[in-house]
Amino acid sequence: MRPVVPAGPAADAAGGRRRTAIILDCDPGHDDALAMLLALARPEVRLLGVTTVAGNATLAHTTRNALAVLTLAGRTDIPVGAGADRPLRRSLQVADHVHGESGLEGAELPVPAIDPWPEGAVELMAHLIGASSEAVTLVPVGPLTNVAMFLDAYPTLAGRIAHICVMGGAIGEGNITPAAEFNIWQDPEAAARVFASGRPVTMIGLDVTHQALFTLADAERLRSLATRTGAVFADLLRYFARFHADRYGWEGSPIHDAVAVAHVLDLGLVETRSARVEVETGDESSRGRTIVELVDPADQERLAPNAEVGVRIDRERFVELLVAAVAAFP
């Protein structure tokens, strides 16, 4: 297996249409895997590369999962950079109670047909952002370790980041603790760095992703596509649904990470509000809490918003988008 080489600026012109250049930073993860398919399927975005981080599972697992999903989708042209194997200052605590030990339990995935990019996630981000003819949108849907490391390592390239659309945080709930959402909780120091970066940040938190339920009936629609990708994702979503049935009594799963990609598509699915977001970096009970103050337009000067925060999503359109994304692959 040879590592794939990132595409250069020549790949920018796609049928004359302007596409948002994105890098997906992820820890696959069931919902990460669907976010990846959505980013690959849609014409509104051009996926420059995928970077992986430890979170839902160890880095070895999340990287292998990313490579396997790209192999399944037949998109072995997308470079994958393996990133941080632990948070900046904390020890890693995987979410195997949600995603299983491998991070992507429930289905048989192909053996990866590609290797990771040899220099790793931060270098891959620098290479792709430096080579891009337009500013690049980062879509981090795991702990924010890689993004924080990139911002510190390449301050001059940070100005070429158009937007950072984060899946993480919440206005009013938690999932790993009563106070915090998993991605922010895992590496709160990295998250604080990103919210303080001065780049345009959107926070797609649990308040909106918990509205984005993909039901078991929706999963069966994927099976009835009668494709390998459809069958794999139907199985994955059946596994993912177990945790949400036990924990919340839901008949489906929130596809958290795909909401961040859906927002970047700019199809008007996700409603956001300006806000001031601070990340709690203290210990235990408040660790990783996002303190969100929604800012009225009249108060913008006084409260200096540092993010847009997702508050609502059109679930039906979101589900249709995901079904169509899965249907785009063999």
Give the footprint of ligand BDR on this chain (CB under 6 A).
29, 31-32, 56, 95, 98, 141-142, 167, 175, 181-183, 256-257
Applying CB under 5 A, does 104 fall inside the site for Ca ion? Answer: no
> Which option in Ca ion, ligand BDR, none does residue 95 bind, with CB closer than 5 to 8 A by kind?
ligand BDR
DSSP 8-state code for residue 3: B
Nearest approach, Cβ of residue 31 and Ca ion (Å): 6
- Of 238-267, binders to Ca ion (CB under 5 A) are 257
Given the complex with Ca ion, which of 295 and 326 has the nearer CB atom? 326
61, 210, 244, 256: the catalytic one is 256
Applying CB under 5 A, does 142 fall inside the site for Ca ion? Answer: yes
Q: How many CB atoms lie within 10 A of CB 118?
A: 10
CA 244 to chain centre: 19
Distance CA(26)–CA(182), nearest Å, equals 13
Given the complex with ligand BDR, which of 137 and 253 has the nearer CB atom? 253
Distance CA(152)–CA(72), nearest Å, equals 34
Applying CB under 5 A, does 144 fall inside the site for Ca ion? Answer: no
**256 in catalytic set:** yes
> Which option in ligand BDR, Ca ion, none does residue 218 bind, with CB closer than 5 to 8 A by kind?
none
Q: What is the DSSP pairing of strand 270-279 with strand 45-52?
A: unpaired
Question: Helix 59-72 and helix 30-41: axis angle, to 10°?
Answer: 40
Binding-site size, Ca ion (CB under 5 A): 6
Nearest approach, Cβ of residue 24 and ligand BDR (Å): 11
Torsion of CA 236, 38, 76, 6, to 10 degrees: -140
Applying CB under 5 A, does 29 fall inside the site for Ca ion? Answer: yes
Applying CB under 5 A, does 32 fall inside the site for Ca ion? Answer: yes
Nearest approach, Cβ of residue 208 and Ca ion (Å): 15
Nearest approach, Cβ of residue 16 and ligand BDR (Å): 34
> Which option in Ca ion, ligand BDR, none does residue 308 bind, with CB closer than 5 to 8 A by kind?
none
> Which option in Ca ion, ligand BDR, none does residue 102 bind, with CB closer than 5 to 8 A by kind?
none
**Class of residue 314 by CB neighbours under 10 A (exposed 0-12, middle 13-18, buried 19+):** middle
Where residue 249 falls (left for φ over 0; alpha for ψ -120 to 50; beta otherwise) is left
> Which option in ligand BDR, Ca ion, none does residue 181 bind, with CB closer than 5 to 8 A by kind?
ligand BDR
Given the complex with ligand BDR, which of 41 and 258 has the nearer CB atom? 258
Given the complex with Ca ion, which of 236 and 295 has the nearer CB atom? 236
The two structure tokens encoding residue 52: 């992986």
Given the complex with ligand BDR, which of 73 and 167 has the nearer CB atom? 167
Q: What is the DSSP pairing of strand 20-26 with strand 45-52?
A: parallel
Interface segment toward Ca ion; rule CB under 5 A; list 8-16, 120-128, 137-145, 233-241:
137-145
Contact 210, 254 (CB under 8 A): yes
Given the complex with ligand BDR, which of 175 and 281 has the nearer CB atom? 175
Distance CA(31)–CA(59), nearest Å, equals 17
Peptide bond into 29 cis (omega under 30): yes
Distance CA(323)–CA(245), nearest Å, equals 21
Angstrom CA distances, 114 to 152, 185, 204, 217, 234, stand at: 29, 32, 31, 33, 24
Given the complex with ligand BDR, which of 288 and 305 has the nearer CB atom? 288
Nearest approach, Cβ of residue 34 and Ca ion (Å): 10
Applying CB under 5 A, does 141 fall inside the site for Ca ion? Answer: yes
Catalytic residues: 256
Name the residues that contact Ca ion, by CB under 5 A.
27, 29, 32, 141-142, 257
